[in-house]
Amino acid sequence: MPELAFITKASIDAVRSADGGADARLALIADVCRLNALVAVKQAGSGHLGSSFSALDIVVHLLYAELDVADAGFDSSDRDVFFSSKGHDVPGHYAALYGLGVVPAERLARLRRLAGLDGHPDVGVPGIEANSGSLGMGISKGRGIAWGKRQAGRGGVVVVMTGDGELQEGQNWEALQGAAHDRLGGLWIVVDRNALQSDKTTEEIVALGDLEAKLRAFGWEVETCDGHDHVLLREVFGGFRVGGDAPKALIANTIKGRGVSFMEHPAALVEGGGLYRWHAGAPDDESFERAREELAARIADGFAVLGLGEPAYEPLAPPVDPTRLEGEPESGAGARRPSVTDEYVVEAYGEELVRLGAEHEHLVVLDADLASDCRVRGFELAYPERFLECGIAEQDMVSAAAGLARHGFLPVVNSFASFLASRANEQIYNQASEGTKAVYALHYAGLIPAGPGKSHQSIRDISLLGALPDMTIVQPGNAEETRALLRWAVDEADGNVAIRLAIGPSPRRTELDGHVTPGRGSVLRDGADAVLVSYGPVMLHEALTAAELLERRGLALAVVNMPWLNRVEPGFAEGRVFVLEDHAPVGGLGDALRRAGVDAEIFGVEGWPACGTPAEALRAHGLDGASLADRIASALAR
């Protein structure tokens, strides 16, 4: 790991108060924020650099020049309000807030860590005005705020940054029409038009087309400019200030990865063979050093031009091993450390989907711009004519699947669980009500990984789909079971099936042979004192860890894998039964077991899912193996 250091707030202050052109100073500050965001993401091990970099000139221009929050303060009800709807660009936003003294260095160093900075914007962080990361909600929120300001006679404009791919979400167009109807001239949006989605161009995924014409047709005043040119940004925003009562949109043409030559679109896309590498994730050490050196050199030049000398750096404490809890000694803590294998259940899913595609000509795969994460790129390459890319538009995807199912196709519908089960819920109900069959792949289900935060952690999806007639919800515990359950869903299930899938590496290889029987679980470990029922690789590992720890205490805990989450035929109604949910305690497997007559005690994700490393988040909820061992021992002692 390279040594990490932020450029200090004092150095940023020096730039702000230096003589010289305001716009050149803003550009320099944006580069400083790029470097600090790069360092924060490297320390965190993940985060979105590409869109942080494309957005940063705009963010800095707004927070450091155009808007009044730096002076008025975030508590002023008359303040200007700025937030990012896409939220992926939050490392850059945090870096800008650090430069303003709103976020301290110690917290910037704890990006995606417990009690640090959430992986997507959260109002618990100073200076963050709205929770985002679930795409497409920001303009609506801004509309509400602008309407409220006008209603209450308060000052301040409301500025919402959106992505360009994000505009595929239909909610944006609801908000755009509503804001125009209500003549909310104090609402501005800035489209960070960096032309790329997660790894392909917007025009390739679902074309935005003539965005200016669209926004104008929706009743907005529209300007377009280079989003890295502070002179032009100043002009546009100045015009907005004196504009009429139509809401205002700036299409800011930007470059994804801006500021680091090898991350910049379009060169980076060409280099990646058509896929953009720098959307998410931390760069490896070598790429990090190259990027840092490039930024540092340009920043040093900028400081020199302003006659400021060298920028000052403050080193970060070395990152705590993210697999270990802070303050915990390395020795003796093994039980709390999730081991990690190279097995990803989602890879088994992607591979089996290709096999099933060969067997079933009516099988079609639908994607909402998460093809790489959901491992359906393999299917896309194998059967491009049966792959329907829907863009970031989950509702449209599900209803399109419904149409396909009515006409004899078997749609396999992919997105993250938190988006698919929730945003497209009514569409799934409608599809199900037609009596057709679809397979819903709920990726990234459960608490872990916990770095991206609440918007991405799905702890309600079982409850969201559980009351649907003719819907079976399953979650496989390892690769073999993933293949078997997907095959069961495609070949044997009569009605809809939702398959929850963990997105991260499996923490251990669980011995499940891939034979599945609807409603029936399998015993992973025997034990006479109590039974712990769970599902999915993350929680099965914690359950087994708990059993191993309890064994040392003389307690024999049986562990049962129950991949059928809403239709259970328990064979263990006798004795003490505990359920470990990778879900809220409400509406999960535990409730299903109780309906089946098992008096189960539930350990689930209580409250809001914690952001942090896996170890931190599991511990925060008392769901790591060690905590579970303690909780079960206490319960058995009562």
CA angle 292, 302, 288 (to 5 degrees): 5
**What is the rounded distance in angstroms from the CA atom of residue 481 to the CA atom of residue 155?**
58
Residue 171, CA distances (Å) to 92, 135, 161, 223, 311 in order: 25, 9, 15, 22, 43
Say whether residue 245 binds a second copy (CB under 8 A): no
Q: How far apart are CA 45 and CA 74, in angstroms?
A: 30
Residues 308-337 touching a second copy, rule: CB under 8 A, are none
CB of 241 to a second copy, least distance (A): 21
Tell me if 408 contacts a second copy by CB under 8 A: yes
Q: Map the footprint of a second copy across residues 427-446, applying CB under 8 A.
A: 427, 429-430, 433-435
Q: Compare residues 393 and 524 and give the one whose CB is closer to a second copy.
A: 393
- The closest alpha carbon to 442, from 502, 365, 372, belongs to 502
The nearer residue to a second copy, 30 or 568, going by C-beta atoms, is: 568
**Shortest distance in whole angstroms from residue 584 CB to a second copy:** 4
Verify binding: residue 422, a second copy, rule CB under 8 A: yes
216 or 487: CB nearest a second copy:
216
* Beta carbons of 454 and 121 less than 8 angstroms apart: no
CB 278 within 8 A of CB 50: yes
Task: Kindly report the backbone phi and psi dihedral angles of residue 86, in degrees, each rounded to the nearest multiple of 5, phi listed first.
Answer: -70, -40
410-416: strand order across its sheet: 387-389, 363-367, 410-416, 439-443, 496-501, 471-474
Stretch that binds a second copy, among 39-47, 94-102, 148-156, 629-637 (CB under 8 A): 148-156
Q: Which of 516, 346, 505 is nearest to 414 (CA)?
A: 346
- Residue from 68, 174, 326, 551 that binds a second copy (CB under 8 A)? 174
360, 520, 594, 631: which one binds a second copy (CB under 8 A): 594
Contacts (CB under 8 A) with a second copy, residues 208-227: 208-210, 213-214, 216-219
Residue 125 contacts a second copy per CB under 8 A: no
Instruction: Report if residue 197 touches a second copy, rule: CB under 8 A.
Output: no
- The distance of closest approach from Cβ of residue 19 to a second copy in the complex, given in angstroms and rounded to an integer, is 38
Q: Show contacts with a second copy in window 359-398 (CB under 8 A).
A: 364, 385-386, 388, 390-391, 393, 395-398
Q: Please identify which residue in 32, 485, 497, 602 interacts with a second copy, judged by CB under 8 A.
A: 602
Task: Name residues contacting a second copy, limited to 462-501 (CB under 8 A).
Answer: 463-464, 466-469
CA distance 219 to 385: 37
According to CB under 8 A, which one of 90, 584, 618, 632 is a site residue for a second copy? 584
Nearest to 420 by CA among 447, 403, 445: 445
- Nearest-approach distance from CB 74 to a second copy, in angstroms: 11
Instruction: Tell me phi and psi for residue 141, to 5 degrees.
Output: -65, -45
Distances, alpha carbon 468 to alpha carbons 295, 432, 498, in Å = 53, 8, 11
Nearer to a second copy, 187 or 633 (CB): 187
Q: Under the criterion CB under 8 A, does residue 137 sit at the interface with a second copy? A: yes
Q: With b meaning 16 or more CB within 10 Å and e meaning fewer, what string describes 446-480?
A: bbbbbbbbbbbbbbbbbbbbbebeebbbbbbbbbb
C-alpha span between 237 and 239 (Å, rounded): 5
Site for a second copy in 527-566 (CB under 8 A): 566
**Position 206 contacts a second copy (CB under 8 A):** yes
For a second copy, the closer CB: 38 or 539: 539
Enumerate residues 251-280 that contact a second copy by CB under 8 A: none
